A and B are shown apart, each in its own frame.
Chain A
Amino acid sequence: EAQVTQNPRYLITVTGKKLTVTCSQNMNHEYMSWYRQDPGLGLRQIYYSMNVEVTDKGDVPEGYKVSRKEKRNFPLILESPSPNQTSLYFCASSPTGTGSSGVGYTFGSGTRLTIV
């Protein structure tokens, strides 16, 4: 089944303890992206990647890091998490970064992250 898999689904952790949220897709998509979703603010883009070793900032990149060493994986790293990073996080992928395929993004099921 074609899908984007995120892990973990839920995580409660403490301020300052480094964490990684993994994202993997099995569709050979070039483009991958991370979002956070907060009530009243909607989905906001954190980082995106056009292909292996090519990443760039979205609208809210502060406090986050990403890497794209392999095409299928795009982990989100919080080096020193703070309570304002408590949110619902989504990873998504798409065949290309150009929109020429006419196909939108395939989203993962989400990771609910709580930082206390």
Chain B
Amino acid sequence: SQKIEQNSEALNIQEGKTATLTCNYTNYSPAYLQWYRQDPGRGPVFLLLIRENEKEKRKERLKVTFDTTLKQSLFHITASQPADSATYLCALNSGGYQKVTFGTGTKLQVIP
């Protein structure tokens, strides 16, 4: 069956370090992989989208990699700040953009 796993429910990291979050999937052939940030009681906010033929995407302090052989995406936040503390969700679109499956998220806590 299709499955998306985000490496851990929670991740604590010291301010200034690089946070690395993992999204693994099985039995998908995603055309796109997206990352979102969600704060408590709020809707997810889009961060980055990477296509199946792209290896890496960057936006400011954020970097996403996409390895379709390993069936894995890594999401990096460099020089992490307490304001980066939130839950981060990965989402896969397979067979087009219309249908999407979200992971359950990793809660990141950046400690000052």
Asked whether B93 lies within 8 Å of A99 as measured between CB atoms, the reply is: yes
Asked whether A42 lies within 8 Å of B89 as measured between CB atoms, the reply is: yes
**Complex Cα–Cα for A110 and B45 (A):** 12
Q: What is the distance, in angstroms, from B94's C-beta to the closest C-beta of chain A?
A: 11
Looking at the complex, which one of B42, B44, B97, B104 makes contact with A98 (CB distance below 8 Å)? B97
Residues of B within 8 A of A97 (CB): 96-98
Asked whether B31 lies within 8 Å of A45 as measured between CB atoms, the reply is: no
A4-49 residues with Cβ-Cβ distance < 8 A to B are 4, 31, 33, 35, 40-45, 48
Chain B interface helix/strand/loop/mixed? strand
Number of interface residues, chain B, beta carbon within 8 A? 27
User: Looking at A59, A97, A104, A105, which has the most chain B CB atoms within 10 Å of its CB?
Assistant: A104
**Complex Cα–Cα for A110 and B87 (A):** 16
Asked whether A33 lies within 8 Å of B49 as measured between CB atoms, the reply is: no
Verify if B75 is at the interface (C-beta below 8 Å from A). Answer: no
Number of interface residues, chain A, beta carbon within 8 A? 31
Knowing A99-B93, A109-B43 touch, does A58 contact B99 (C-beta < 8 A)? yes
> Digit string of A94-116 for contact with B (CB within 8 Å is 1, else 0)?
10111100111111111000000
What residues of chain B have their CB less than 8 Å away from a CB belonging to chain A? Answer: 31-32, 34, 36, 41-49, 51, 89, 91, 93, 96-105
